[in-house]
Amino acid sequence: MDLFGIVGAGLMGTDLALFIAESGNRVVLCDNDRRALDISEQKMTTRLKKYVDKGKMVQATADEILSRIVIHANLHGFPDVDVAIECVTEELEIKREVFRQLDELCKPGVILASNTSSKSITAIAAATRRPESVIGIHFMNPVRAMRLVEIVCGLATTRETFETAKHVVKHFGKEYVEVRDYPGFISNRILMPMINEAIFALYEDAGTVEAIDKVMKLGMNQPMGPLELADLIGLDIVLAVLEELFKGFGDPKYRPCPLLKRYVAAGYLGRKSGRGFYTY
């Protein structure tokens, strides 16, 4: 298992591609947005430079890591991959189209994985002629630091595919949990309502951004406050996951806060846009 294909050069795709290359594997990173690829390449170069400047890595190692990553504006190279991982935006039809293409291009026996944080693996798999090979491998952000991965089997996913996914996760030194194919899985089903409630607290003027985060950090011993964490995840992603939870369960406890919708509409997406609940 040497060549990994990553579709999507956004925050997670970039982070995952670099992490896989750091682990000694070759990566093909694909995105049909050339600008996204340029930004991704710059981010990876900048991050490795920081490691070198801090003495955590020598320049030769950084150069070797970058040499393992090949960037394409299409799915060129995917016929050779051993594992394909989709990291595109949290929109089901976009993901299904990616999987249709992967189904056409990837060789038999390759597992087709989605890094989705909320969408149905069963629905994604139904877009292919090999649903038994489709699985969710949900890495947490940031990939390098977070130890846990959720492995999500769809209705048709075989145990053989699950065992291969386990091997991939263990290969990267991560812990895994097997979760059912419900909206938000386990992590976001629990996390997103907390973040949403923090946004409601801000919306209702229960406290400032700083006060809300301080309560959760110092009072509940969380490493990051919920609003700070939302900015890290991306407010558009938080909104997409909450909408998926609300649609999937039909429970009003998942209703996204109107303030969150306003921020996303304004383009205040968090760290990646330079402004969210905080300014960066």
Q: What pairs with residue 34 in β-bridges?
A: none
Marked catalytic residue, from 40, 114, 117, 187? 117
Instruction: Return the closest-CA partner of residue 131 out of 117, 120, 144.
Output: 120
Contact of 86 with 9, CB cutoff 8 Å? no
- CA–CA gap between residue 280 and residue 278 (Å, rounded): 7
Q: Do β-strands 26-30 and 3-7 pair in parallel, antiparallel, or remain unpaired?
A: parallel
Quickly list DSSP for 187-254: HHHHHHHHHHHHHHHHHTTSS-HHHHHHIIIIIS--SS-HHHHHHHH-HHHHHHHHHHHHHHH--GGG
Is 141 annotated in the active site?
no
Q: Which residue's entry shows tokens 């690829």? A: 37
Q: What pairs with residue 72 in β-bridges?
A: 30
Marked catalytic residue, from 150, 196, 228, 244? 150
Marked catalytic residue, from 115, 133, 138, 228? 138
Residue 124 C-alpha from the chain's centroid: 16
Instruction: Return the closest-CA partner of residue 230 out of 264, 203, 180.
Output: 264
Is 138 annotated in the active site?
yes
Marked catalytic residue, from 188, 196, 228, 244? 188
Is 150 annotated in the active site?
yes
Residues identified as active-site: 117, 138, 150, 188
